[in-house]
Chain A
């Protein structure tokens, strides 16, 4: 069982190294996709199936589509992938630091030592509390999302007038 979650560990770290090593934004978005997928796999192996489903839907379905669309505005003339030399140096430095940090890992997690994959935890029961005891937080989050909608509309509204400095 630990080997299954080790796959998620490894993919998560590879994705985050790919994000942090300053490639072009197209490839950084690929790294974030890989990190999010591996994180979902990690949560599934621990039994948090509902949170992993929500993470997959929000990240890959919602946000990363917008990020991939906005990558067109950050176009480089010569996009740098991870085989570019300036990016590859950062990848190597990060891997060396991670190997040093891995030497401090001494024991395994208890939750990664379960034998079977097929049991279902009740994390959806905890999320259900958002509609019961945490109802005030639900209202507050809805208000925050509404305010964000108007903030985004106000920021992008003055584009047609030329300069944002004329606000």
Chain B
């Protein structure tokens, strides 16, 4: 295993465990999702570097666009939950 592979795999698994275990706020879960997208972005962009095929380097751009959509929708849900329930604690989402 090379250091680059180690970095990508370990940051993906770190953010995944952080998303699964012990989230107190909804915003923390969204930030963990952003960390997942960041590690996938690094993996995709170094993939096209490793194979010397620059044709592939438009797929990180597509990923970044879709992650922007995901972040916007998640923050809209955060705003709606905060206005209707008073806070964004994850225990409050059991009431929905």
Q: Is the CB of A43 within 8 A of B45?
A: yes
Q: Mark A1-40, 1 if CB is under 8 A from B, else 0.
A: 0000010010011001101111011001101100110010
Query: Known contacts A9-B7, A105-B1; is A130 also within 8 Å of B54 by CB?
Result: no
Q: Which of A35, A51, A94, A130 has most chain B Cβ within 10 Å?
A: A51
Q: Closest CB-CB distance, B33 to chain A, in whole Å?
A: 10
Query: Known contacts A19-B18, A134-B58, A159-B84; is A101 also within 8 Å of B65 by CB?
Result: no
Chain A residues contacting B4 (CB-CB under 8 Å) are: 9, 109, 111-112
Chain B residues contacting A25 (CB-CB under 8 Å) are: 25, 27-28, 31
Q: Is the CB of A21 within 8 A of B34?
A: no
Query: Known contacts A70-B79, A152-B72; is A32 also within 8 Å of B35 by CB?
Result: yes
Q: Is the CB of A28 within 8 A of B28?
A: yes
User: For window 94-127 of chain A, which residues contact chain B by CB distance below 8 Å?
Assistant: 94, 98, 101-102, 104-109, 111-112, 121-123, 125-127
In the assembled complex, the Cα of A148 lies from the Cα of B74 at a distance in Å of 11
In the assembled complex, the Cα of A25 lies from the Cα of B28 at a distance in Å of 5
Q: Is the CB of A74 within 8 A of B27?
A: yes
Chain B contact residues: helix, strand, loop or mixed: helix
Query: Known contacts A20-B17, A105-B2; is A13 also within 8 Å of B84 by CB?
Result: no
CB contact between A13 and one of B11, B32, B45, B64 (< 8 Å): that residue: B11
In the assembled complex, the Cα of A47 lies from the Cα of B61 at a distance in Å of 17
Chain B residues contacting A163 (CB-CB under 8 Å) are: 84
User: For window 54-81 of chain B, which residues contact chain A by CB distance below 8 Å?
Assistant: 54-58, 60-62, 64-66, 68-69, 71-73, 75-81
In the assembled complex, the Cα of A104 lies from the Cα of B10 at a distance in Å of 12
Query: Known contacts A22-B28, A67-B27, A109-B3; is A51 also within 8 Å of B60 by CB?
Result: yes
Q: Is the CB of B57 within 8 A of A22?
A: no
CB contact between B48 and one of A12, A22, A107, A123 (< 8 Å): that residue: A123
| B residues neighboring A (CB under 8 Å) | 1-4, 6-7, 10-11, 14-15, 17-19, 21-28, 30-32, 34-35, 38-39, 41-42, 45-46, 48-50, 53-58, 60-62, 64-66, 68-69, 71-73, 75-84, 87-88, 96
User: What are 22 sample pairs from A and B whose C-beta atoms fall under 8 A apart?
Assistant: A12-B7, A13-B7, A16-B35, A19-B15, A20-B18, A20-B32, A22-B24, A35-B11, A51-B45, A51-B60, A55-B64, A58-B68, A74-B28, A74-B78, A104-B6, A105-B6, A111-B46, A123-B45, A148-B69, A152-B72, A152-B76, A163-B84
